[in-house]
Every structure is written in structure tokens, then in C-alpha cells.
Chain A
Amino acid sequence: MLRFAASRLISLSLSLLAASVVIFAVIEVIPGDPAAFMLGLNAQEDTVAALREQLGLEGSVINRYFGWVGGMLTGDFGTSYTYRVPVADLILARMWISLPLALYALILSTLIAFPVGLIAAARRGRPADMGIMGVTQLGIAVPNFWFAMILVVIFAIKLRWFSAGGFPGWDNGFWLGLKSLTLPAIALALPQASILARVMRSSVLDTLDQDYIRTARAKGLNRSQAIWRHGLRNAMIPVLTIIGMQFSFLLAGAIIIENVFFLPGLGRLIFQGITQRDLIVVESGVMLLVFAVITVTFLVDLAYAAVDPRLRRRG
């Protein structure tokens, strides 16, 4: 198991290295000079050149790449062109919203999807299954911002249980912060839960046709005992894969929901960075997301090995 984890860690580091090269290269070839953008159309050429120098845009590509990577390793992500503050501070502040929101949505989605998927599998072809399949189909088809608006109309405007948007900060109390993330988390979780429930259902159904379920039934287990004791854990591999992918998506893909609820999250920061040519924010933000995704993949790999003893020996 340790060997397995070590070999996964090595491939994790290599992926990060490859990603940093790709991100840097892509940003290099994107048209648009941040210095010219910041100074406006009428700027003098020598003023632009001076700003480029100040922003660290001069010098050879190799030097700048290693400067960037070396900086990140020591916690220095550079200074935002537009905000004029360290990028690390900017990202950290946004992380305190985006990370809890993603986790919150993921937990909700898993809590909904597991029982729903299991019930559908246990009642394959019966009304409960067909109902669940219909509802989850709708959940996938309807975009999450539409859910978000409906939630706002019902719970913020009609019932006044929640505020319609904004984030008070964690300094004003954990529960208040959590409360303000609840509607966005639900809006994010519903489509994810629909996908996860369907994966859960088909994965459990696949295991039901396996020989070991027949063995379990021949031992005297009834149908639900066989699913619960033997089907579930075997069905977990595809489900874990989807959960890992969903977390990555939720971390950065919540931008529309962040806009609907006026949440200053990571997605919005990167989007603003792109529109304002604040490339240093984009570069570091994307790199951080890549890091998060690769770390989640690593954790999912470890979870695979925990679930399935056959995977533990593979290097």
C-alpha cells in the first residue's frame, strides 16, 4: 500500500511539472500585452516598455518560467497587474469561499445520490426507479443557474430564510458563513447529484449480475442484503471516479453560481483576470486549480486501493 502511494506521488509530481509547462506556454502565446492594456490606447511606447520591465515581462522565456515556478514553490505568486496586491493573498482570500463551497456541494450531492441511486437499483424497472430516473434526467438537463434563481425566488424572496446573495465572511461566525453558502451549494449539488445517482444506480446494477451476488443469494441473503453487503463496495470504483471529477469541477466551475449569488470566489477571480489581461493571476490561479485536481485524483487513487484489495499491489 505504501509503495502504491509512493508511486502515485511520483506520477503526481510529474503531472504537475508537465501542467506548469503547458500553462506557461499557453499564456505566452495568448495575444494582448498586459502593459499596453493597463496604460490604455494612447500610451507612449517607452512608458509601456518601462511598465513591462516593472511587471517582469522582459527577459528570456526560460528565465521567466523558472522565475515563476521558483516563486510558486516559495509561496511568491507574483503581484497582480490590476489589483497591485500579491496574487497569493488574492487567491487565498477566494479559496476560503470556493473550497468550502465545493466541499459543501459535494457532500450534499453525495448524501443525496447514494440513497437515491441505491433505491433505484434495488427497485429496477418499478415505479420508484422510473420516477428517480425521470427526475435525475431533469436534474442533468436543467442548468444549475436556473435552479439557483428558483431557490432565490423561493427561499430568499418568498420565505426570507436565506439572503439572496453575498458572503459575510467567516469572521462573523461559522454558521452565518455556512448559511450564506447553503443556497449556492444546493444549486451546485442538484445536477451533480443527478449524475452521481445515475452512475450509482447503473454501477450497482452491474454488480448485481455478477456471480458473487448469486453466491451471496445462495447463502441465504435476501436481495437487499446482497446489494448492501456485496454489491455496494464493488460498485464504488466508478462512483469514486465521478466524485473526484465533480470536486474538480465544483472548485473552478462554480463561476456562474458565484455570479448569481455575488460570491467573490475563485472562478470569478480567474474570469476577471482573463478579461483584464491580468495574466499573472490567470497563470497562478490555473496552476493552483491544476494542483487541486491532481491532488484529488491522487486521493481518489488511494480510495480505489482502499476499496479494492486487488489494486493495492499495482505499482
Chain B
Amino acid sequence: MSLISVSHLSMAIHSLAILKDLTFAIEPGKVFGVVGESGSGKSMTALALMGLLPGGARTSGSAMLGDTDLLSAPEDRMCRIRGNQIGMIFQEPMTALNPVQTIGRQVAETLVIHGAANRAEAMTLAREKLDRVGLPADRFPLDKYPHELSGGQRQRVCIALAIALRPKLLIADEPTTALDVTTQAQILDLLKSLVAEDGMALMLITHDLAVVSDIADQVAVMKSGEIVEQGNTDEVFRAMRHPYTRALFAASAHIPDRQARARDEPILEVQNAVRRYALPRRRLLGPAPTFTAVNDVSFTLHMGENLGLVGESGCGKSTLTRAILGLEPLQSGQIRLFGEPVAPGMANALRSGVQVVFQDPYGSFNPRWKVAQLVAEPFYLMQARPADWRDRVAEALVSVGMTAPDMDKYIHEFSGGQRQRIAIARALILRPDLIVLDEAVSALDVSIRAQILDLLADLSHRLNLSYLFISHDLSVVRAITDRVLVMQAGEIVESGRTEEVFTNPAHPYTRALIDATPKLPDRRV
């Protein structure tokens, strides 16, 4: 007997169809994976089961939990089910907890609100639950506030409050997407053990095929609000009957066609770079403690080379990037670009030789400017904007696969992948030799990501560009770089040719990173 059986679930928001005729069942004590790209309706399916759809949503069909239809149950009935029979955790652990309440109270609240315990008992139980999710009492007392915890620790608190009443089903909506790979592996282990030991069912929503194939018993592949294929994970991923499933796999494992063309001509030389920050003083007039974000880092990037820089959040990648772009001073050591020293006051002409593409294709453009203005902005580094600037904008847009007429549109008219192409066009407009790609494909869906990687490989080949490719995603770095640097706690712990580092990691941290990365199952096409 299924725990939840959904039949013919459809949902529309103001006559726009979001979910189309979904039928699936979640078995007790099993992991049900839902994969698909953004906008495929994965999260909406979960919110429909929780009765937390946005205003204006109309559902049809049924979703039976025992003899209750989750789609038509009245609100007070749903309030008793949420948190009690179905728990849910979300993607963004940094904002999922109330910042002004202690973690103990937030976990205890689940128990109090359902009348399972009085306040004092609830605090005792909250302690047990936090222990259960791996937050021991000595380091994580109940009176800690969320801002005192890391992302992974916060996600554990979210799990603790979602499972406090031992729900029959836990819905996890991209629970590890915002986390580092090693933290992701720990959270996935925790979720697995909750299923294995407590007999809970898990509905795991993710865009990451490797995560699903690793943990899910059953899987449903979603596209544009429909389930295109579902079944036992092994079978679905082995047979890959539906072309979309095959396309997703191909995109996830995509390796652009490229050859190493590095010449022995250094563009960027970083020598013993050190960047320290002063922290707030502990005492009013005492010495300010310092934090060393980048510690004695040295490397050289050659003409035409694609260099990867991997490491987890907080390892100093971004600080190093800002120093290379001449946005932050160094405390010692130096950075030379084309032989010239890089520092915050450097000449504009030198800056024009290195451009950058950031992660967020939505936040990195001024929404009130037209594309032509956005792409032409780096021209301010030159004495005067060249007379043929519109032609050059058109040329840059065409070279990233857009069209010249796109320059008279506004940025909101483009999708995330198109915006990232425009960001690359902006980086290309001054014909630089080096482009810094800071997590430039991390926010993109796998199919878009594959296209952007192809584009980058092609541009590097055609324009003889060098890349410094910064990412936490090892598979992407492996696909596109010649050499790789592994950074941990401000230091480069390993460097070498990409294939060698990945097949034969020398440093234990590199090994840990590679082991923690979920792997796609072998394809048997």
C-alpha cells in the first residue's frame, strides 16, 4: 500500500498550466526522486502535496495520504498534517530559519504546535533531535542562533525540525544545491540514514542526476510540468527510454571538444600572494585580530591556457579573484598581468586586458539599460568609445550566439542562459587575453550549461583566449580546463594537469573532494 498516491494531479495558476496530469506513488520507507530542470514543476508538485501553493493556484486530481486527499483537505486539517505526517526542507538553508529565534526553540516549536509536548519537554526532545542530525550538545547548545552556524549546520537544523515528529514522509526540495560537495555528501548520508533507520519515506527533488541515481529507489523525470518517465531508478537510468532523459544525461556528462593550446608565455603571474583582513577588535583598544583569506599563493597562467581553481566556499577563491582583478590590495607578494603589477590603482589600459563573468546572470546587469549599453560598458576603460562601437557590440553578440538586433532590447527579455551569453559578450568587447569565469555556469541548468561550455571552448580556440575558471563543481572544471589548482583554507594544496589531478589526487583534501562528488551511473546506451 502506497504512502501517498497521486493521480491525475494538474495545477494552473491564473489559467497558466503548471502541472499536467501527474500520476505517481510514494512508497513507505523508500526514496522517491524527482529530477528536472528549472521550471519543470518539481517544487510546485511538492508544494501541492503540502497545500502551500501560491495564491491563485487551482488543482485537480487527487493526492491520497491514507484516506485524506491532500489537494482538497481544509486548511486546518492540512495544518495538522504539515510537520506531523509530512515534513519539508528547502533549498536555501541560509534563510530558511528565523534569524531572531534560537535553534532550540525552532525545533521545539514543531512539537509544541502539534500539542505533542509542553515547552519544557519539547526542549528536551529538541536536544535529542539535534543530536540525531549530528549537532552535538557541547558544540551546538539549544540557545545558538542560526547566524552562528554554517550552511550545512543550518540545513541539519531544518532537517531536525522537519523530522521532530517522525513524519511518514520528508520532502526535500534541492536540499544540498546551496552546499559544498563535502557538506552535500554528509547531508545526503544523514537523509539516507533517516530513511534506513526510522522507516521514513523521502521525496527528493533535485536537478542533479548524480545525486538522484545515488540515493533514490524510484525516480520521476519531469519536463514542462509533466512526468516524461518514471520507475525504479536503476531501470530508468539504464534503459533511458525517453529522449529527454537521454538528453539530460548527455548534458550532465558533456565534455566540450577542445585541445590544450597553452604557449610558454605567461600572462598572469601570482607570486606569494597574501591577503589578510582585520577582524573586529575583541577589546576596545586591544590589537585587531586578522584573518588570512589568501595565504602565500603562487601560480602562473600561460597564453591560451585554461586554468581551473577549485575549492569549497570560504576557501579564498573569491578573494584571490578580486585581487587578480585589481580590486583588492595584497599584504605581501605580488600579482603581475602581462608583466605589469596589479593593484587597486592600476591603469585602465591594463584592466582592459582582463575581464570577468560572474555567477548570477540575473543580478549582474543593470535592468534599466539596453543590451548595447551593457555590452559596451567596458569601453569606459579606454580614452574614448570607438566610433564603430555598435558594430563591435554586434560582433561580440554574434560571437556568443546572439544576434545583432538583440542589442536594442532590455535584459529582462532574455533567459538565464542568454543572459550569461550576454555577460560573455561584455567580457569579450575589449578583446581581452584573459577572462576570469567566477562560477560562470553554476547557476545554469545542465542543458544550458553544456551549451555555454561549448561556447567557451569555441571562443578560447577562435580568439586564443585564456581562462581562469573558478568553480566548486569538479566535473565542470574537469571538462574545460588544462590545469587545475585546488585551494583549501587560503592555500593551494595541489596543482597539476587536470586529468592527472583527477585520476591520481595526491593531497587528501583533493581526494575528499573527488570522493564526495556524486557520480553519474555508467551509461549503457
Chain A residues with CB under 8 Å of chain B are 3, 6-7, 210-212, 214-222, 225, 229-230, 233-234, 307-310, 313-315
Contact = CB atoms under 8 A, between A and B. Distances in A.
B162 A218 contact: yes
Chain A contact surface mostly? helix
A212 B109 CA distance: 13
B80 interface: yes
B406 to A, nearest CB: 32
Contacts of A314: 280
Contact of B110 (A3, A212, A219): A219
Contact of B100 (A3, A211, A218, A233): A233
B97 interface: yes
Interface in B73-124: 75-76, 79-84, 87-90, 92, 95-101, 109-110, 113-114
B93 to A, nearest CB: 9
B82 A215 contact: no
Contacts of A308: 99-100
B45 to A, nearest CB: 15
Contacts of A307: 100
A217 B109 CA distance: 12
Nearest to B107: A219
Interface of B: 50, 52, 75-76, 79-84, 87-90, 92, 95-101, 109-110, 113-114, 145, 147, 158, 161-162, 280-281, 284
A219 B113 contact: yes
15 contacts: A7-B284, A212-B96, A212-B97, A215-B90, A217-B82, A218-B87, A220-B82, A220-B113, A222-B79, A308-B99, A308-B100, A309-B100, A309-B145, A310-B145, A314-B280
B98 A219 contact: no
Contact of A221 (B99, B101, B113): B113
Given A212-B99, A220-B79, A310-B99, 4 more contacts: A215-B97, A234-B99, A309-B145, A309-B147
Given A211-B90, A218-B82, A219-B110, A6 B101 contact: no
A218 B83 contact: yes
Contacts of B79: 220-222
A315 B114 CA distance: 40
A211 B75 contact: no
B110 A215 contact: no
A158 to B, nearest CB: 46
Contacts of B147: 309-310
A219 B90 contact: no
B113 A225 contact: yes
Contacts of B75: 222
Nearest to A207: B98
A216 B81 contact: no
Contacts of A215: 90, 96-98, 158, 161
B96 A315 contact: no
Contacts of B88: 218
B283 to A, nearest CB: 9
Nearest to A223: B75
Contact of A230 (B101, B145, B284): B101
Contacts of B50: 218
B26 to A, nearest CB: 17
Contact of B98 (A220, A234, A313): A234
B301 to A, nearest CB: 39
A237 to B, nearest CB: 10
A218 B52 contact: yes
A219 to B, nearest CB: 4
A260 to B, nearest CB: 42
Nearest to A219: B83
B145 A210 contact: no
Nearest to B161: A219
Nearest to B111: A219
Given A211-B92, A214-B52, A308-B99, A219 B82 contact: yes
Nearest to B171: A218
Contacts of A214: 52, 90, 96
A313 B161 CA distance: 27
